[in-house]
Amino acid sequence: MEKKKKVAKFDYKTIKTFEDACKKENIDPTKLPDVSMIPEEFHKPIVAAYKLYVIFKAINNGWTPYWNDSSEYKYYPWFWVNASKEKPSGFGFSSSDCDFTTTGTGVGSRLCVQTSEEALYIAGQFTAEYLDFLLIIK
């Protein structure tokens, strides 16, 4: 089994902006992905995904998940979208006459962290990036 390297302690809460993450990772925050060759509707989510990758890399501070170790917990933000009565959600499990149900979801390894506290921090601190990445807002 492959041994994981020890990662030095780091206060992830020092990463408050995309620019903070870029500074930590020695990345120029003004150099965003060139999305000019793809449909405009995909510009915002692709740039937001890039920003989230950089943010997670900075907060993870050298830690990478070891996917062959199922005992190693990996955390990611989970969002619940509240739909109003005027704009109800088209997805959900509202009621059923069944005995058991299960659902699963997955995220890429670039968007997970070591602790639930880090995932909660990212969800609260970088909500705008997640909104651009996950939702079409008109």
pTM above 0.75, yes or no: yes
- How far apart CA 125 and CA 127 sit, in angstroms, is 6
pLDDT digits (tens, 9 = 90+) for 40-90: 999 999 999 999 999 999 999 999 988 888 899 999 998 887 766 565 554
pLDDT for the residue 37: 97
Question: Within its chain, how far is the Cα of 125 from the centroid?
Answer: 11
Number of alpha helices (DSSP H) and beta strands (DSSP E) in the chain = 4, 0
3-state class (DSSP) for residue 113 = strand
Average pLDDT, the chain: 83
pLDDT for the residue 108: 59
pLDDT for the residue 83: 63
Which is it for the CA torsion 118, 120, 124, 129, positive or negative?
positive
Under DSSP, the state recorded for 13 is: G
**Cα 21-24-26 angle, rounded to 5 deg:** 105
pLDDT at 36 over 50: yes
pLDDT for the residue 42: 95
